Structure 1
Amino acid sequence: MEHVELFFKSIFIDNMVFATFLGMCSYLAVSKKVSTAVGLGAAVIFVLAITVPLNWLLDQYILQPGALAWLGDEYASYDLSFLSFIMFIATIATMVQLVEIVVEKFSPSLYNSLGIFLPLIAVNCAILGGSLFMQSREIASLGLAFNYGISSGIGWFLAILSIAAIREKIRYSNVPPALRGLGITFIITGLMAIGFMSFGGMLTGGDEEATPEVESAVIETIKEDIEKEEAKLESDLEVAENTNK
């Protein structure tokens, strides 16, 4: 259940684009065509799926205070958390370089269409944000870290795919001149963010079943409130009758 909740929450409620507005430069620049958006979105999913679990391992076994205890008691007091950014970025840059080599090898057309934005995944704040959110939310296992990486990537993929599809269609719409280009794109992004955030009600869970003790306490409280209101009403009626006399 924890895996399922994390998966859907990362895609819809904590969406990288619509909830935290990370990766907006690539989101805006590469979302003019659906084909290009699909390629970049798939690359982001791959990079997040690899880097978040790798950085989780780095955080658990190297960077956290006392994480080096597995090397011996003399290393248990070491705190290398100040190296988090450097280590995370190094991992991300390595994986992005791997993605760039693979895309150039197997899909030269996609490589050319993505242009400079493919190597810029290394400095995409959504990629680094995935590892930092993983660290701050204290994800407890490697499986959850992998789940979070994939689901965050899918959320970013859905965001850029949706806006790319809308922008392809909006070319044929009568948009006011002052809003053409980035203006209408930001407006649509804001509306989509509201739509995605509305999924929050799906994962709040139902109310826990009330125990008999709680139910009886609630009933007693309601009875007391009713009795107080009746007493107050009778008192007001007596005052009103005396006034009339």
Structure 2
Amino acid sequence: MKLDLGYNSDFEVRHLDYHCASVGSFTVLYLSDLHLTRFGGPLVARLEVTISQLNPQVILLGGDYLDGPRGVAHFGRLLRFLAGRPHVFVVAGNHDEWFGLAKVKAMVEANSLVWLGKDAVEIKLAGHRIAVGGKGVASRAEGIDFSILCLHQPIAPNRLQAVHNLIFAGHLHGGQVVLWRSARGLYPGRLFYRWNILQAQLGNCLYIISKGLGDTLPVRYNCPKDVVFVRVNPA
């Protein structure tokens, strides 16, 4: 049991594996809910080190980057760091809409990163066709070998689990206070939010919920911040 106070408590890397017969090996990193303020410099510095060490082939940013104008400089630093890497995809969170979605999108695109819209983006890894999409991508183009859905807020997968191999979401912060956990999720947050879980295997789809990297109210109990690192390997 651990109490974390303040904006700069450390985060963990959750390592997961996904096996799929139709693709070669590649790696995906999902990070979300930075909620950057004027105190965000140390968090961004640690993220830069972690990303350099993991060296993921696909990076997904899951929204809620800013909690005020004084976090803009730190978010800009992270975007400039990511600008030199291939296959970086970004979606918006609800806090980004409050801050100014057009401003956030402009910062992302100024660094040549991909802002995910209504259509999936196709990339090639190890000779295979990989689709990466955001909210609203509910179909799979013909010939796609592997599909990734990047969300901010968790949603009921319904038919999405038949379309996508990996689904990532954040937003819930694990509830910030975890008094107990079970195979059903993290409690007491799970009592209020159905998807306050760590992960779920839904047929061939792995649905992963990050606990995020920051909080508007910077208090956590037994709920470490995280990024999610997935190794995709041939079955």
Shorter-chain TM-score category? under 0.3
> TM-score, normalized by length of structure 2?
0.26
User: Which has the larger Rg?
Assistant: 1
Of Structure 1 and Structure 2, which has the larger fraction of its residues in strand? 2
User: Taking CA–CA contacts closer than 8 Å with sequence separation of 6 or more, which of the two structures ends up with the larger relative contact order?
Assistant: 1
> TM-score, normalized by length of structure 1?
0.25
Of Structure 1 and Structure 2, which has the larger fraction of its residues in helix? 1
